[in-house]
């Protein structure tokens, strides 16, 4: 602890400073990667800041003024080979079907897997598109 006296104003200010000792430790365990970073700022006032890896990445992107580019959308077209049946073409590939049964729309994806039962055609088509973006992430070409 240091006490400084300013004789011209007759005031006292107290500054706390801590000293850190570093010891070398030998370990046989595999090195562990830290997810946080700490730093101490040496200004008039001292402050310790701890940031997680995600926050550091966000700050780095902001400082670099990097704007993430949006992935190109894969075109999806629809054919209607029969009444109550819609077939999806997803980027040139068979995407799946929407089958109307009464007031329900049943959806199956490109692999024949059941996606769901929906009340509207638009919702059924949207859910199929969501599924295809997950199961066929590498499709990026135009139909």
The series of mean pLDDT values per 10 residues for the chain, 143 residues long, is 40 43 47 57 69 80 63 85 96 95 96 96 96 83 46
d(CA 133, CA 135): 6
Q: Give residue 55's pLDDT.
A: 81
Same domain (yes/no): 81, 110: yes
Same domain (yes/no): 100, 121: yes
Same domain (yes/no): 95, 113: yes
Which distant-in-sequence residues (6+ apart) come within 8 Å of 92 by Cβ?
Answer: 139, 141, 142, 143
Q: What is the pTM of this model?
A: 0.50
Torsion over CA of 64, 40, 33 and 27, rounded to 10 degrees?
A: 150
Tally of domains in the chain: 2
Q: Give residue 42's pLDDT.
A: 62
Domain that holds residue 42: 36-68
18 falls within a domain = no
Q: Give residue 131's pLDDT.
A: 93
Contact 124, 141 (CB under 8 A): no
Same domain (yes/no): 129, 100: yes
Q: How far apart are the first and last CA of the chain?
A: 73
Q: Give residue 107's pLDDT.
A: 98
Characterize 29-51 residue by residue with b for buried, 16 or more Cβ atoms within 10 angstroms of its Cβ, and e for exposed. Answer: eeeeeeeeeeeeeeeeeeeeeee
């Amino acid at each position: 602890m240091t006490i400084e006296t300013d004789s011209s104003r007759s005031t006292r200010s107290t500054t706390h400073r801590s000293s850190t000792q570093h010891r070398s430790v030998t370990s046989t365990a595999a090195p562990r990667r830290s997810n946080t970073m700490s730093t101490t700022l040496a200004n008039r006032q001292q402050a310790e800041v701890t940031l997680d890896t995600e926050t550091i990445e966000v700050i780095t992107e902001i400082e670099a003024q990097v704007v993430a580019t949006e992935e190109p959308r894969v075109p999806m077209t629809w054919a209607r080979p029969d009444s109550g049946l819609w077939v999806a073409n997803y980027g040139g590939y068979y995407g799946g079907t929407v089958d109307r049964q009464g007031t329900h729309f049943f959806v199956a994806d490109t692999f024949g897997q059941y996606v769901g039962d929906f009340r509207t055609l638009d919702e059924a088509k949207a859910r199929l598109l969501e599924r295809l973006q997950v199961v066929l992430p590498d499709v990026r070409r135009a139909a």
